[in-house]
Amino acid sequence: MATASYDVVDFGTTKYGEHAKKYILKGAGGVVLEVSDYGGKVVRLFTPDRDGRMKDVVVGFDDPSGWDNGDPYWGCIIGRYGNRIAAGKFTMGGVEYRLPALNNAPAGIGCNLHGGARGWDAYVWGAEPFVTGDDVGVVFTHVSPDGDEGFPGRVAVKVTYTLTAANVWRVDYEAVPDRETPINMTQHVYFNFKGEAGGTIEDHVLTIAAESFTPTDPGQIPTGEVRKVAGTPFDFRKGMRIGEMINANDADLEIGKGYDHNWVLDGGIMAGGAGGLIFAGSLVCPLNGRSVEVWTTEPCLQVYTANWASYDQKAKGGEHLSFRCGVALETQHAPDSPNRPEWPTTFVKAGATYRTTTEFRFGVA
Ligand code: BGC
Model confidence at 311: pLDDT above 80: no
The answer on pLDDT for 156 being more than 90 is yes
> Closest residue (by CA) to atom 5 of ligand 1?
73
Question: Cα of 304 to ligand 1 centre, how many Å?
Answer: 7
pLDDT (average), residues 33-62: 97
Mean pLDDT of 351-365: 98
Confidence class for position 2, pLDDT limits 50, 70, 90: confident
* Ligand 1 atom closest to residue 335's alpha carbon, by position in its atom list: 8
Distance 198 CA to ligand 1 centre (A): 21
Whether 336 is in the pocket of ligand 1, judged by its Cβ within 6 Å, is: no
Instruction: Tell me which of 59, 61, 113, 327 to substitute to probe ligand 1's pocket, judged by most ligand atoms within 8 Å of the beta carbon.
Output: 113
CB of 103 within 6 A of ligand 1: the answer is: no
Confidence of residue 165 (pLDDT cuts 50, 70, 90): very high
Give the pLDDT of residue 293.
Answer: 98
Q: Is 259 in the pocket of ligand 1 (CB under 6 A)?
A: no
Q: Answer yes or no: is the C-beta of 304 below 6 A from any ligand 1 atom.
A: yes
DSSP 111-180: EEETTSTT-GGGSBPEEEEEEETTEEEEEEEEEEPTTGGG--S-EEEEEEEEE-TTSEEEEEEEEEESS-
Hey, what amino acid is at 63? Answer: D
Return the percent helix, strand and coil in the chain, to nearest 5: 5, 40, 50
In Å, what is the CA distance from 171 to each residue of 118, 247, 342, 355?
22, 33, 28, 11
For CA atoms 79, 85, 88, 94, give the dihedral sign. negative
pTM above 0.85, yes or no: yes
Considering the candidates 114, 188, 204, 261, report the single residue annotated as catalytic. Answer: 188
CA distances from 362 to 144, 173, 329 (A): 32, 20, 14
Could you give the CA distance from residue 241 to residue 258 in angstroms, rounded to a whole number?
Answer: 13
Measured CA to CA, the distance from residue 52 to residue 30 in angstroms comes to 10
Whether 188 is catalytic is yes
**Greatest alpha-carbon span in the chain:** 59
In this prediction, residues 142-165 reach a mean pLDDT of 98
Q: Which atom of ligand 1 sits closest to the CA of residue 78? A: 7
Tens digit of pLDDT for each residue in 245-301? 999 999 999 999 999 999 999 999 999 999 999 999 999 999 999 999 999 999 999
Q: How far is the CA of 333 from the centre of ligand 1 (A)?
A: 15
Q: If residue 68 lies in a helix (H) or strand (E), which one and from where to where? A: helix 65-68
- Exactly one of 34, 196, 211, 330 is catalytic; name it: 330
Q: How far is the CA of 174 from the centre of ligand 1 (A)?
A: 23
- Binning pLDDT at 50, 70 and 90, where does residue 36 land? very high
| Residue 137 confidence (pLDDT) | 98
Question: In the chain, what percentage of residues exceed pLDDT 90?
Answer: 93
The reply to whether ligand 1 has any atom less than 6 angstroms from the CB of 71 is yes
Is 128 a catalytic site residue?
no
Residue 184 CA to ligand 1 centre (angstroms)? 14
Looking at residue 78, what is its pLDDT?
A: 98
What does the pLDDT read at residue 320?
A: 83
Average pLDDT of 19-36?
98
- Tell me how far the alpha carbon of residue 29 lies from the centroid of ligand 1, in angstroms: 31
Across the chain, mean pLDDT equals 96
Burial class (CB in 10 A: 0-12, 13-18, 19+), 302: buried
Q: What is the mean pLDDT of residues 303-314?
A: 84
- Contact 348/354 with Cβ under 8 angstroms? yes
Most confident listed range (101-105, 170-174, 312-316): 170-174
216 ligand 1 Cβ < 6 A: no
Residue 110 clears pLDDT 90, i.e. is over it: yes
Ligand 1: does its nearest atom lie under 6 Å from the Cβ of 302?
yes
pLDDT at 309: 60
Indicate if ligand 1 lies below 6 Å from the C-beta of 330.
Answer: yes
